[in-house]
Structure 1
Amino acid sequence: MRVGLQALGIGDGARPEIIKAVAAAAETHGFARLWCGEHVVLVDAPDSRYPYSADGRIAVPADADWLDPLLALSYAAAVTSSIGLATGVLLLPEHNPVVVAKQAATLDVLSAGRFTLGLGAGWSAEEFAALEVPFAGRGRRAEEYLAAMRVLWAEDPASFAGEFTAFEAIRVNPKPVRGGRLPVVVGGNSDVALRRAARHADGWYGFYVAAADVPSHVAVLADECARTGRSLDGFTIAVALTDGTPGQLPGLAAAGVSEIVVVGTPPPAPEAAAGWVEDLARTWIVPDE
């Protein structure tokens, strides 16, 4: 079971000295990946319901520092050499897909092929309104944008024509390191999101999932893969649990989970942040026998 860490980009985790300390310690102590999420916009009193908490409210204060995940992970890439990097998740419908394709491939090149692009459709209507992107149809937009980006990563020149984006004979370089293909995971815990992951992605990232719900989510993934002629073999299933304990890892592995993502807020002093990561590693990472 791989163990990832989502601790960068927000609050104290947005400070460069903390990013450096956490990233270096995570690499040293065996974490598989550093995950970093995104919100371009937060508002003080949203009407939109946050889907990952019981009360429908996001715990991050609206005035907290929240770094752009691609830039934050670029900094983390520069202070590490082997740990994986992943957005958990980037809200794709809010962005120009041509720009994201270039940014993601750039990060993949700068990190020597360590980057995984985690994508989501988004939940905040207020955020979409501020960015002047329609909230309705965001799932279809995300799927089309991903298809367009895969064309850009694989072809040169590249052409695409869709409902939301189109381009003709353009060159967008660099290409991703791994043969013009960047690993993509899709986030979201609804059946719609799970089916989107199974149809269009290389994996699924379940954020704040109850451990008891993991098998049913995996069953939805398996059912959709079977319906579309895919196999779950090689399909990444990463989850951040609401109620996770290390003792649950064998059962989660048996259910098909390939990576547990530990979510936390590092302490404000770099030396304390490094020690905090070490303590998490002792708790969650089982040494190879």
Structure 2
Amino acid sequence: MDIGLHALGIGNGARREVIDAVARGAEARGFSTLWAGEHVVMVDDGASRYPYTDDGRIAVPAEADWLDPMIALSFAGAATSTIRLATGVLLLPEHSPVVVAKQAASLDRLSGGRLSLGVGAGWSREEFEALGVPFRRRGARLEAYVDAMRTLWRDDVAGFHSEFVDFSGIRVNPKPVFGDRLPVVIGGNSDTALDRVARIGDGWYGFNLEDVGHVAERVSFLRERCERAGREVARLRLSVALRSPAPADLPRLSALGIDELVIVDGPPESLADVDSWLDALAGRWMMPSGR
């Protein structure tokens, strides 16, 4: 099973020298993917409930540095040559799909085809309001945007017409290395998110799941939805992050068809401690039970 690392772009992971050290060190130690998430804005006392914790509160302080994931991953990609790069996740309805298609293709081309574009519908009403984007029907907006981006990646002269995005006769270059096969990974743990994975996704990023039992229940639901959509769950790349993962979880996750366990862990404050932190992670997850 692959082991990914979700550690870039926030707090200590938002510093240039730390990004370089973490990216190079993770690649050298055999981690499969570097993940970076997104929030354009944070608020001190928002009413929106965070869906990935029991208390509905996000653990990241509102005042923390939070880099744009495309920019953070571009620096990580420049520092490496083989490790994959993934947004985990980019809140697609908050952005122009034409701009995101351009950014993703640019990063994918410069990194040699290493990008997976993880996208989610978002949960913070306050964030959508700050950006002037309707919170209502954000899921439908996301799906239209994915279709539009794939059209732009595929067609030399592209046109797309929907309720949420409308263009015709435009060229957006460069194209991704593998064209519209650039993987679009759908994030989220809800029934709605998994139904979306089954219908339009190339993969799933389940975040902060309680335990392997929770993963099993969600994979069973995803399998049923894939059957309903006429797709095979085995053709999707499944990545999950657990709240308290242990190496003993790996055989059970593999048996469920999970391709990648993503370790969520912020890098140390001191640059001098990054190597020892990565050594400890690799020692726990790569040798012998992590691979």
TM-score using structure 2 length: 0.97
Q: What amino acid does structure 2 have at the position aligned with 1:128?
A: F
Which range moves more in the overlay, 185-194 or 271-280? 271-280
Give the drift of 1:274. 2.2
Map of 2:252 onto structure 1: 251
Map of 1:45 onto structure 2: 45
Give distance in 2, aligned partners of 1:186 and 1:128: 19
Question: What do residues 160-189 of structure 1 show as CA deviations (whole Å, max 9, x unaligned)?
Answer: 000100100100000010144211110001
Unaligned runs of 5+ in 2: none
Give distance in 2, aligned partners of 1:171 and 1:35: 29
Give distance in 2, aligned partners of 1:145 and 1:179: 16
Q: Look up the SS of the partner of 2:117 in the other structure.
A: strand
Question: What do residues 130-175 of structure 1 show as CA deviations (whole Å, max 9, x unaligned)?
Answer: 0000000000000000000000000010000001001001000000
2:205·2:239 contact (CA, 8 Å) conserved in 1?
yes
Map of 1:55 onto structure 2: 55
Q: What amino acid does structure 1 have at the position aligned with 2:275?
A: A
Q: Look up the SS of the partner of 1:60 in the other structure.
A: coil
**1:14 is aligned to 2:10:** no
Map of 2:110 onto structure 1: 110
Unaligned runs of 5+ in 1: none
**1:26 is aligned to 2:26:** yes
Identity of aligned residues (%): 58
Question: What do residues 248-276 of structure 1 show as CA deviations (whole Å, max 9, x unaligned)?
Answer: 10001101111000001111222311221
2:33·2:85 contact (CA, 8 Å) conserved in 1?
yes
Map 1:176-187 → 2, pairs under 5 A: 176-187=176-187
Map of 2:264 onto structure 1: 263
Give distance in 1, aligned partners of 2:287 and 2:95: 39
Which range moves more in the overlay, 162-171 or 267-276? 267-276
Question: What do residues 1-40 of structure 1 show as CA deviations (whole Å, max 9, x unaligned)?
Answer: 0000000000111000000111111000000000000000
2:151·2:180 contact (CA, 8 Å) conserved in 1?
no
2:185·2:203 contact (CA, 8 Å) conserved in 1?
yes
Give distance in 1, aligned partners of 2:180 and 2:187: 22
Question: What do residues 22-68 of structure 1 show as CA deviations (whole Å, max 9, x unaligned)?
Answer: 11110000000000000001000010000111111011111110000
Map of 1:135 onto structure 2: 135
Q: Look up the SS of the partner of 1:104 in the other structure.
A: helix
Map of 1:214 onto structure 2: 215
Give distance in 1, aligned partners of 2:180 and 2:128: 30
2:69·2:87 contact (CA, 8 Å) conserved in 1?
yes
2:24·2:80 contact (CA, 8 Å) conserved in 1?
yes
Give distance in 2, aligned partners of 1:180 and 1:62: 36
1:238·1:260 contact (CA, 8 Å) conserved in 2?
yes
1:198·1:224 contact (CA, 8 Å) conserved in 2?
yes
Give distance in 2, aligned partners of 1:193 and 1:77: 28
Map 1:75-154 → 2, pairs under 5 A: 75-154=75-154
Q: What amino acid does structure 1 have at the position aligned with 2:41?
A: V
